[in-house]
Amino acid sequence: MLRLIYTSKISRDIDSKGVQEIISSARNYNKRAAVTGVLLSNFDCFFQVLEGPDILVKLLFEKIRRDPRHSEVKLVAESQVGGRLFSQWNMSYLMVSEKNDSLISSDWTKLSANECETIIEMVV
Ligand SMILES: Cc1cc2nc3c(=O)[nH]c(=O)nc-3n(C[C@H](O)[C@H](O)[C@H](O)COP(=O)(O)O)c2cc1C
């Protein structure tokens, strides 16, 4: 099983309704593909963890990478894992806004892999 983590910048023309559309189609597809994970947003950026069968996660990430609803898609980590962190969620969504937490309010496309791991620990 593959776990893939990436960050990106949210396109300016995407509002909360646009994000809801992404989530509902994601939940639909991910359920059929046995993909689980979490999508976080801090208003400026997305942070997503995808976990599931290798080939399905890779194909999905190629589609997501080309999606015009975000930009600067940056692959943070891709690793073989023995189990899921988000087994209950075909795609959990969290909008995070703790302004005094520097990790939460930062530009996620500039985070290191270790900082991304810390964010995952905060939401898992
Ligand atoms: C930030 C972001 C996260 C996304 N996450 C998923 C996802 O987890 N699962 C999914 O099926 N589509 C997701 N999408 C949507 C895909 O990019 C794509 O629109 C969708 O897979 C449908 O592609 P298709 O029309 O080529 O079949 C996401 C899009 C964005 C912008």
Q: Which domains does the chain have, with CATH numbers?
A: 2-123 (3.30.70.100)
Q: What's the one-letter identity of residue 76?
A: V
Q: And the tokens for 11?
A: 């396109």
Report whether pLDDT(15) > 80.
Answer: yes
Predicted model pTM? 0.96
- Rg over alpha carbons for the chain, rounded to the nearest Å, is 13
Q: How far is the CA of 98 from the centre of ligand 1 (A)?
A: 26
Our answer on whether the CB atom of 48 is closer than 6 Å to any ligand 1 atom is: yes
* 3 close to 26: Cβ distance less than 8 angstroms: no
Q: 29 CB under 6 A from ligand 1?
A: yes
How many Å lie between the centroid of ligand 1 and the Cα of residue 100? Answer: 31
Alpha helices, DSSP H, located in the chain: 16-33, 54-65, 102-105, 113-123
30 Cβ inside 6 Å of ligand 1? yes
- The sign one gets for the Cα dihedral 44, 121, 118, 25 is negative
User: For the segment 70-102, what is each residue's pLDDT rounded down to a tens digit?
Assistant: 999 999 999 999 999 999 999 999 999 887 788
Residue 100 confidence (pLDDT): 78
